[in-house]
Structure 1
Amino acid sequence: MIKFAKTAFVLAAFAALPLTASAGLFDDDEARRAILDMRTRVTKMEGDLKNLIDTKTDKSATLDLIAQQQNLMEEINRLRGQVELLAHSIDTAAKREKDFYSDLDARLRKLEPREVTIDGKTASVDLAEQKAYDTGMQQFKDGDYKGAASLLSDFVKRYPASSYAANAQYWLGNAYYAQRDCKTAIVAQQAVVKNYADSPRAPEAMLNIASCQTELKAVNNAKKTLQELIKSYPDSQAAATARDRLKGK
């Protein structure tokens, strides 16, 4: 009787054994139902074994009881293997699902706008916008002024409302000036003054316009531009430079 009581205890412990993965986390309803059915069967087997222990106490029934006990234990072991296999499958599926969503989240974060500081102001810039601007500026820094002009021109067309637009337009003018194309440089810098008058680049653009006009021998136009610069942006560093230039004219 003690041996059978111990067996019943083993059955009870197995029936109460928690699965390694929570079924509620997954969509595999069939697997959950199979596991719950197995646990129900194990619980029933536990009851059947207890009933055998309670009812077959005479010695003549001992062999029959042992045989039934062995059959029950074999069935329990088989079910335990199936439960462990299903639990492992659920764990694997859960890991794949977690990895998938982690990767998806990482990809989405890369596409989200990022906060940057431009001319002392915080702005939101998306990844494609940032990459396009940085590529154009890198071309300029590398001395490829023609390539920079092409990329920066494309940038201001694609992102006219970008927080980088004023800078891109300003450096576009500089890229033309670096190629000794003063007429196109003036047009580009005039766009800075017209479209981005509040940008710190606007007074610098006017100073560059005056420089180009001087090189084109349009001295009166250069003088007029410097005077407008001082009037429009009196406290800027560009205005201070404009005053010094006017003194020499």
Structure 2
Amino acid sequence: MVNPTALFRGAVLALACLAAQGAQAQLFGDDQARQAILDLRQRFDQSVAAQNRLVEENAQMRRSLLDLQQQIESLRGELARGRGQEEQFTRDIGELKRAQTGQQQALEDRVRRLETAESTRAATETAAAPPPPAPTLPGSDAAASVGDKQDYDAALAVFRAGDFKGAQTGFANFIKRHPRSSLAPSALFWLGNAQYATRDYKEAITNFRSLLTASPNHQRAPEAMLSIANCQIELKDTRAARATLESLVKTYPQSEAAQAGRERLSRLK
């Protein structure tokens, strides 16, 4: 026979066990849910952090691209300025070459005119000269004049060859060795022209003036005065050039140099 009290106790114990198991199952389910939420929040935070890094990297890339674009524009500007400077430099070089060619041509024309005049004068003097005297011994005045002519012709040949630095040395040495030679004024003239050709305008003026001081009536005196004016024009001293040209026209009115001086006076501003 079944004891009712024992049966009741067994039922109560079973119910208690079931209740405990239910509570334990409920507690275990809540922990899993919380863990799932924590995992989801962690992944969300990581996703947000990754997105923020991408945004920052994108912004940094944009700034780098803007800097690069500015550098490219700056380089383009510098390249354009460099091209402009190169073109201007090319134009300046061309103008300088044209100016030098013009000066060289003018100098050569002047040399030819003076050589023609000198040849004509020498031929005239030879035709009108008396018979030559008897030969003289070496060391005499006549022999010395022959030496002067040889040194002078040698320096002039260097000038005609276009070696203006060498011509300066040759004529300067001639003047030192033969200061009283009848060819000394001509040597001063060609020395000044050689200095003019190398743009040593101040020294050229000094030698042209030395010629005018020593031999104001020399056949090359008008040309020397015109050359002084040319040097002053190159030195941008227009006032002095005008005064020199006016003096040239007044002092040597019938000379070809005076005619050229009148034309230059009309162009001076």
TM-score, normalization by structure 1: 0.50
Q: CA deviation at 1:111?
A: 5.8
Tell me how far apart the structure 1 counterparts of residues 154 and 140 of structure 2 sit (CA, whole Å): 19
Q: Deviations over 1:41-81 (max 9, x none)?
A: xxxxxxxxxxxxxxxxxxxxxxxxxxxxxxxxxxxxxxxxx
Q: Aligned residue for 2:160?
A: 141
Q: CA deviation at 1:207?
A: 0.3
> Does the alignment pair 1:241 with 2:266?
no
Retained in 2: the 8 A contact 1:112–1:127?
no
Q: Write the letter of the residue equivalent to 2:262.
A: R
SS at structure 2 position matched to 1:126: helix
Tell me how far apart the structure 1 counterparts of residues 160 and 144 of structure 2 sit (CA, whole Å): 22
Task: Specify which structure has the bigger relative contact order, considering alpha-carbon pairs within 8 angstroms and separated by 6 or more residues.
Answer: 1
Match of 1:130 among 136, 149, 164: 149
Q: Write the letter of the residue equivalent to 1:174.
A: N
Higher-Rg member (1/2): 2
Task: Please list every run of at least 4 consecutive aligned residues from structure 1 whose deviation after the TM superposition is greater than 3 angstroms.
Answer: 108-114
Q: Aligned residue for 1:156?
A: 175
Tell me how far apart the structure 1 counterparts of residues 246 and 160 of structure 2 sit (CA, whole Å): 31
Retained in 1: the 8 A contact 2:145–2:181?
no
Q: CA deviation at 1:201?
A: 0.8
Retained in 2: the 8 A contact 1:125–1:163?
no
Retained in 2: the 8 A contact 1:209–1:225?
yes
In percent, how many aligned pairs have the same letter?
41
Q: Deviations over 1:145-201 (max 9, x none)?
A: 111101101111221221111110000000101111111111111111111111011
Gaps of 5+ in 1: 1-104, 115-123
Q: CA deviation at 1:110?
A: 6.6
Tell me how far apart the structure 2 counterparts of residues 213 and 207 of structure 1 sit (CA, whole Å): 10
| Structure 1 pair 215–165 and aligned structure 2 pair: CA distance change class (3 A) | same
> Does the alignment pair 1:200 with 2:185?
no
Structure with the higher strand share, 1 or 2: 1
SS at structure 1 position matched to 2:253: coil
Q: Aligned residue for 1:173?
A: 192
Structure with the higher helix share, 1 or 2: 2
Gaps of 5+ in 2: 1-133
Retained in 1: the 8 A contact 2:211–2:224?
yes
Q: Deviations over 1:104-137 (max 9, x none)?
A: x99x6676655xxxxxxxxx96232122111111
Moved more, 154-163 or 178-187: 154-163
How many matched pairs? 135
